[in-house]
Structure 1
Amino acid sequence: MADTSIDSGTVLTIDRATVDAIIAHARRDHPDEACGVVAGAIGSDLPTRHVPMLNAAMSPTFYEFDSGDLLRLYRDMDDRDEEPVVVYHSHTATEAYPSRTDIDLASEPGAHYVLVSTRDGAHEAGPVDVRSYRIVDGEVTEEEVRIVERYDHDVPHEKVNP
């Protein structure tokens, strides 16, 4: 059974520009699901480099990374001493919660899985539901999302979906 509570012990801290880029990608690809990665230095848990990917499935109900693009991304991350800190995709007609398929495909136990919902007109304007999860061995745990203006210890954060 998936855990649907928010774990106060896990937090995704992400800068506003990256969140805005993820939302823009989700809106741009709507009605198909958008997908991508935000890489960061190995062990930092800090998402710094947004890499929008092509949804090879080109589907409104499913996303799939192109295997060649994914291989190139992992080689590039290796060259930069990076890892996938965030793996994201959008849901175009449902809430921002991982589907059974999303859970089955989650293969990065250290990553934050971010979902963006563009349903109910959110693909055009207005607020977009952005939520983050840890998915390990089929177990889903929602986590707090903190959006900061920039990565700076002196900047207060804004809680999203507390």
Structure 2
Amino acid sequence: MLILATMRTLTITRALHDQIVAHARKDHPDEACGVIAGPAGTDRPERFVPMLNAAMSPTFYEFDSGDLLRLYREMDDRDEEPVVVYHSHTATHAYPSRTDISYANEPGAHYVLVSTADTDGLGEFQFRSFTIVDGEVTEDEVRVVEAY
């Protein structure tokens, strides 16, 4: 039996969208990474949490384990969950790599990728969102709004 994944929609404010892009451009040529937390069960990204790429690499990102533990404790205290997990690709298009897929462990999150491969900090960029569950990648529609 063939089961087709349903496309989801990431609805995100212009301000949060722009913060992700700015972080990606700022950290270029290294990959940037972070989380946008939101109220549990809402699928509404609200709180921008840029993280340090502990790998400090142009081809790989890694959350610092201590920072990540603190973030999850904080989200738990605030009844939040990771609605968006984002990172940038500095030399390739905005599509999850095999490594990205293998590390995706938040089935309810939108995995946002921003490609800064063809930019000098001022040019075009790609901003795409994906759902990754059990190694299966489905692209999400992205809807940028001024406010919720």
Normalised to the residue count of structure 2, the TM-score between the two structures is 0.95
Identity between Structure 1 and Structure 2 (%): 74
Superposition deviation, residue 8 in structure 1: 6.5
Match for residue 74 of structure 2?
76
Structure 2 portions without partners, runs of 5+: none
Q: Distance in 1 between matches of 2:124 and 2:147?
A: 21
Matches within 5 A, 1:7-156: 9-121=7-119, 123-151=120-148
Note the alpha carbon deviations across 1:17-52, whole angstroms, 9 max, x for none: 000000000000000000000000000000000000
Which one-letter code corresponds to 1:140 in the other structure? V
Normalised to the residue count of structure 1, the TM-score between the two structures is 0.87
Structure 1 portions without partners, runs of 5+: 1-6, 152-162
Superposition deviation, residue 143 in structure 1: 1.0
Change (3 A) 1:140 1:116: same
Which one-letter code corresponds to 2:127 in the other structure? V
The aligned length equals: 144
The question of whether the paired residues in 2 share the 8 Å contact of 1:56 and 1:63 is answered with yes
Superposition deviation, residue 70 in structure 1: 0.1
Q: Distance in 2 between matches of 1:67 and 1:116?
A: 23
RMSD: 1.0
Runs (4+) off by over 2 Å: none
Which one-letter code corresponds to 1:141 in the other structure? T
Which one-letter code corresponds to 1:107 in the other structure? N
Q: Distance in 1 between matches of 2:19 and 2:132?
A: 23
Q: Distance in 2 between matches of 1:148 and 1:108?
A: 24
Q: Distance in 1 between matches of 2:7 and 2:96?
A: 20
Superposition deviation, residue 127 in structure 1: 2.3
Q: Distance in 1 between matches of 2:81 and 2:48?
A: 12
